[in-house]
Structure 1
Amino acid sequence: MDQNLPARVAEEIVAWDFVFPNDANPYGSMFGGKLLAIMDTTAAIAAIRFAGKTVSTAAVEAVEFVHPVVVGDRLKTTAKVVWVGRSSMMVRVDVYVDLGTSFKRCTHAHFAMVAFDQHRRPTPVPGLLRETAEDEKAFKLAASIREQAIKRAKDEKAQS
């Protein structure tokens, strides 16, 4: 985070999609890659809205598919910046199947996004204001996931 940029509260972005037959395998289950593409787009919008800058996905962490998604489902995707570094952000993304009277979470992940300037160099982002206990919990979880990812990358580099 840049001390010269005012800290801000992250807004939650919501996107809606239908699952069409071309989004699924022959058995009617949605392709995981298609679902990740929807999640990535929503994460990017949340990061752009927060940072006010161009962003790119650096990594996808802790993806969990917990409930099947099938042709005909209506999907609600939410994304919110939950952790901020100097030029990077962690965006929590959740996908829910709309059951009509309720929602069932089917997938969630954390996306590491990096903000860029006009020359495609990493650039500082604002600090993140955490207003609620839920915001603080999300921040701590994202920080832990980021630390684990950094450790894993160091371990993999040491093995090569």
Structure 2
Amino acid sequence: MTQLIFPEDANIHGTMFGGKVMEYMDKTAAISSMRHARIPVVTASTDSIDFIGPIRVGDAIEIVSFVTWTHNSSMEVYVKVQSENVYSGEKTTVVTAFFTFVGLDPSGKPTRVPPVMPETDEEKSLHASAPSRYEQRRQRKRDRQNNA
């Protein structure tokens, strides 16, 4: 997804609202997970949303995502946002995150999703480190259930 950032997308500092960036990231990640599994999906969690730098009014942003790993019905999706000064061409990675989606069957219940076959070095690296992130998410969920 590519978007040009206008004043209505920005806060009083002239930088893009974080929530607006997150909306675009969630949509892009949803498309990646639906394309991977070829079934309906829902967002289960987001984690490690790291805002590395500002996105300014007049910049273009490019949001790229791909499924890094799957486990039964869930898919981990890596999302990266790059900001581009359209006049100089300078690009900077400004936000990264991991989203988790769950594949749904026709009745809306979780269903099995296909495994990931990583190809690039980046995909292979993220695939190899995904089980650790999965366990951290599971522990976080258990902790929240215990504290509820």
For residue 100 of structure 2, the aligned residue among 101, 104, 112 is 112
Checking the alignment, whether the CA contact within 8 Å between 1:61 and 1:145 is kept in structure 2 is no
1:157 is matched with 145
**Higher relative contact order structure (alpha carbons within 8 Å, sequence separation ≥ 6):** 1
Aligned residue for 2:101, secondary structure, equals: strand
Map Cα deviations across residues 100-136 of structure 1 (whole Å, 9 max, x no partner). 4342000000000011122111111111112344322
2:27 corresponds to which residue?
A: 41
Say which is worse superposed, 137-146 or 103-112, in terms of deviation.
137-146
Residue 47 of structure 2: aligned partner: 61
- The letter of the residue matching 2:40 is T
TM-score scaled by structure 2? 0.91
SS in 2 for 1:53: coil
Task: Give the structure-1-normalised TM-score.
Answer: 0.85
Q: 1:76-91, aligned counterparts within 5 Å?
A: 76-91=62-77
Instruction: Give 1:62 deviation, angstroms.
Output: 0.7
Other structure's SS at 1:122 match: coil
1:40 to partner: Cα distance: 0.3
Cα distance in 2, alignment partners of residues 131 and 73 from structure 1: 31
1:46 partner letter: S
Query: What runs of 5+ residues in structure 1 fail to find an aligned partner?
Result: 1-14
Task: Give 1:32's match in structure 2, choosing from 6, 18, 21.
Answer: 18
Is residue 123 of structure 2 the alignment partner of residue 135 of structure 1? yes
Query: Cα RMSD over matched residues?
Result: 1.4
- The 1:102–1:141 alpha-carbon spacing in structure 2 relative to 1, beyond 3 Å, is farther
CA distance in 2, matches of 1:104, 1:139: 24
What stretches of structure 2 of length at least 5 have no aligned partner? none
Corresponding residue for residue 123 of structure 1: 111
Aligned pair count?
146
The farther-off stretch of 114-123 and 136-145 is 136-145
